Structure formats: C-alpha cells, structure tokens
Chain A
Amino acid sequence: MTLIVRQTWAQVVDAYRELSARRLFWLSLIISLVVVAFFAMFDFNQQGMKILGWQIPLTFFNTNIISREAFFKLLFSTFGFGVWLSWAAMALALISTAHVFPDFVASGSIELTLSKPLGRLRAFLVKYVLALMFVGVQVVVFTLASITVIGLRTGTWVWDFLLAVPIMMLIFSYLFCVSVLVGVITRSALTALLAAGIIWLLAFVVHLVETAGLLRGRMQWEAGQIAMMDGVKSRADKVRELDALLASQKPPSADTQSERERAAAELAEWEESFKDVSENVQSLTTAHNIIFGIKMFLPKTNETFDLLNRVLFRDDELTQLANARPVRERDTRWIGKVRVSSRAIDRELRERLAQRDEWWIIGTSGAFQFMVLGVAAWVFCRRDF
C-alpha cells in the first residue's frame, strides 16, 4: 500500500512538472483570469449595459427585463463558460495535453516506467486521471474567479457555478480519451490532437443537426401538420354544411352551389398541402431518428454543458430572456397553408431538450468514454514497447 501511495504521489508531482513546464498551461490560466477581469468591467442597469462607465442603451435587455444577477449569470455562462471555457480553453487544454500519452509511450521513455514495480494498468489510469486533474485546476481557477466577480458586483455568491468544474472535466474527458487512444496507438501528439478535434467537431455537428436542424424542423412541421389538420377539418365541415344547405334548398341556390364548389376546391388544396406536410413530417421523423441513433454513440459535449444552465437559470428567467427580444416577421414560418411561430417552437424545443434525462446525457457519453478508454488501456497493457 505504501508503495502504491509513494508511486502515485511521484506520478502526481511528475504530472505537475510536466504540465507546468508547458507554457500553454500557464498561458491558458492567465487568459482565463484576463477573461474574468474583462467581464468584471461590465455592469447592467435599467437603461441597458454599462462598460467601464460607458452606457450602452438597450431597450430589450435591461434590469426591467431580467435581474442584474441573471445578467451576470448569463454573461459568464454564455461567454465565460460557453465560449471561453468550453471552446477556447478546451482547445488549449487538448493541445497542451495531446503530447502527454505520446511522450509517455515514446520509445526510450516508456521502458523507464514499465521496468519499475508498477502495474501497466495503474500507470495508464493514473496518468489519465492526472491529466484530467490539471485541466480541472484551470476550470477551478476560472470558476472561483467568476464567482468572486459576480459576488462582488451583485452581492450574490452563485455557488452553483462550481458545477462547471465537474461538467467541464466531463466534457474534456470525452475528448481526451480519444486523444489518449490515438496517442497510444500512433505515438503522435499531432494525430492524437487531430482525432480529438474530429470527434469534437463530429459531436458538435451531429448535435446541431439533431437539435437545431431535424428536431426543430420536425417540431415545426408537426405543429404545422396539426394546424393543417384543423384547417382541413374546418374546410371539410364547411363543405358538409354547404352540402346540407344545398340539399335543403328546393331548387338549390346558384350562389350556394358556387360557394360549395369554391369550398370543395379549397378543401382539395388543403388536403393536398396536408399530404405534403405529412410526408415532410414523416421524412423529418425518420431522419431525426437516424441521427439521434448516431448521437447515442457519440459524446454529448453541448448537452453536457447545457446541464450547467439547467442549474443556473430558473424557468422564469429563461422565459424572460426568450421574450426579451421583440417579435419580428421572420419569427414565423409558413408550413403548408399555415404560419407557425418560430419563437413558440424554440421555447418548446428548449423545454424538450431540458427534459432529456441527465443520466442519459452523461451515461451515454460516459459509455463512449469507457469504451474508448478501455480500448486504449487494453492496447497499452498488451503492447510490446
């Protein structure tokens, strides 16, 4: 036991030395603090936004619409965590850790470790966990700095932001495991980085296509289909009413006859359009099911990040935010012969995505990670170096 503790501690110290020797590690940490300092320059009031005392009037975005606390949460979660930490800092973390496993398994280096009384699997897993831990350090620093800034500006200490630490580490781990697998196989940091980048891009594109593309489209067309169905039904009722009227008229009125013909023609048009809409709904449903099936096997980086917003924002805050922007003509869309509100669809989409189970998001992404890391560990343990 003492030997295991001693060896693990040596690996911890070595991992710290390795990453701190990389300028990128410190650069990333400094940029994180600069980003927080930049956001600290912002303020929010009844007129709109204020940057270093310079007032920017915003009629649809001020404290009359959302609270100052919600504004800072939005600022940090959208730009601080959503852009800097989950994209830029994540990319820097992947770059600064891409070399870890290729260097570890490099010829002349791995022999020094494997010839020690240290199991291969333990050496591998400790190395992996330590790389994650040092990315965690970056997130912890950024998160604490963000909480401090929000606390000092609003007097509210948003400790919920601490959830960003495990969430960001989870997202990083989904991608880092790919880097590890490719790094162990190819011993090339560049290839490992490229592979992680491809999976990241793939996960993002699939998520975008699945949610903003197919699911949103499907919901929009389904809403149109329902509205069309009502339209068809009302027009069919009208035709039936006119038929009944014509039957009661002795002799039938020419006007009624003409009106009945117009109604029948309109009904036929609507039925035709309804058929087209229904076919589109069917196609979108099939496409969505396929892409959703593919998504099952990929890491859900975006949805994992969205778990943070689920905790940070209350429903009323989200609704306020969604309604803050004035309604425009392009916020509605023609589906067949009906107009469907895009804003209503967006709200429904948001609610539907928010209903996706956390354990499904983390579980399926974790399964991906477990599988990729398992293969990497197997290759590492079986390989002749």
Chain B
Amino acid sequence: MTPILMLGNSHVACARLAWPGMRGDHSGIDLTVFGAPMRAMGELVLDGSTLRAGTPQSSSLLRRVSGDNHIDLSRFEIVAVVGMELSLAAAVRLFSAYRPWSAGAAGGGHLISEGAFHDALVDAAAASDALRLCGKIRHVYAGPLFVMPQPNPLEGLLASTEGKANAIGVGRWSSAARSWGPNLYAAFRAACRDACAAHGATFVAQPDDTLADGFFTRDEYRYHDPATKEDYAHMNISYGERLCRLAAEFAADRPAALTYG
C-alpha cells in the first residue's frame, strides 16, 4: 500500500470529506489529508523530517482540523500540496493591469512583454504558500511531489451580485474570462509548471472536465453550506473525489514522468 500525504489549506477539505467513502475502492493507497485553514500551513516549520506548526495559533488550528500539530514526512512515499494560494486569481489580477501583446486590446492598460508576463506569473506562483511549502519539503523529502492549485472560482460567480463575490473582483474575473480567458488560463498553467519544476515538483492542473465557460469551475462542484452562501471558492465532496482519484493516479504512474499540467 502506498502511503500518500495530501497537504493543503481549506481547499483540501473536500478531499478529506471524500476519502472515507472512497477508501474501499482504492486499497492500493493509504491517503492522509493534513491541513488547516488560513495561513497555518504556510507557517509550518521543519523539525527534522517533521513539518510542525510555526505559531501557537497555527498549532491550535492544525490540532482542531487535522488532529495534530505536526506530520512526519518520512512516513510517506508521495506528497501532494493542494491550494495554498496557488491560484488563477494572481493571473487575473496581473491581467487587469498589464496586457501582453497577444491579448490585443484586452487586459490592463500597461503593455508588457510575453516573457515578463510569464515571469511575473512564475514569481506569483513561487511566492504562494504552496510553493514555499514545497521548498521546505524538499529539504528533507526527495520523493514524488505534486502540486494542485486552488480550484478556479465557480461559474456562478459571474452572475452574482452579492457583496462577497464583488469583493473578490467579479469584474476582473469577468473581463479576463471574456477577453482572453483560455490564453490567460494557459499562461497560468505554464507559469505553475515552471514554478513547480524549480522544486522538482509536478504541477497538476485542475481537471478540464471540472471546468466550464473557459476556466470557471462547474457549479455542480459548489460547496453548499448554509453559513457560506456566497462561497464561490470552495468545492464539494464530488470535487474532493476528483482530488483523491488524482492522488491514486500519482501512485499508479509513479515514478514515470507525468503530464498533468
């Protein structure tokens, strides 16, 4: 049985919810999901081969969500990092102010070279908690390392007029999607691949069949929580099943070169 560790922030919660119901069909892997919301995962520190909470607040969050405030990497043959600010949002923000030549009249007011645009996206990815955690992991772990981004916002976002949706920049998302969506998403994925490669990690893009309208996540994956009606960012158990199936694929394909990005 291949022990797999899936690390992440709130976007790994759906996998944690999904896995108990899938375990029976995937007897070849033993998946451990370890995560905590907000910045707790970004604040993890290395203690030998163990990732440990970096602050009392993180420790408290990790214990509450994952049952412990540390995890020993040496127990695992495969590690995957999920979410943690590795997000298309960075590309959308950049595109709202800067436009590469190939975008024509779309995008922001400042013309920027394709090379600089790509490198800025790589920098944004590299600065995410996800990639910074990969850097820490690589100090003690040489095995297969996979990185999955934060899922793209749900397609319902564009139709929303709700306050929270507007706060995360519906206008920016809408403009990017309509004017240059597929290209921007391709640029984001290419940048993520390069940023992950710098850590010897494999970028695993959001599965295409979970997407609609260019790069938005299909509304069927929407996480319905009465307390968070306006949540366009978090996915439900069905999406979690997709993440878990990807984890199973990692074990099946290992150590062959993978082309998930």
- The answer on A and B forming one complex is no
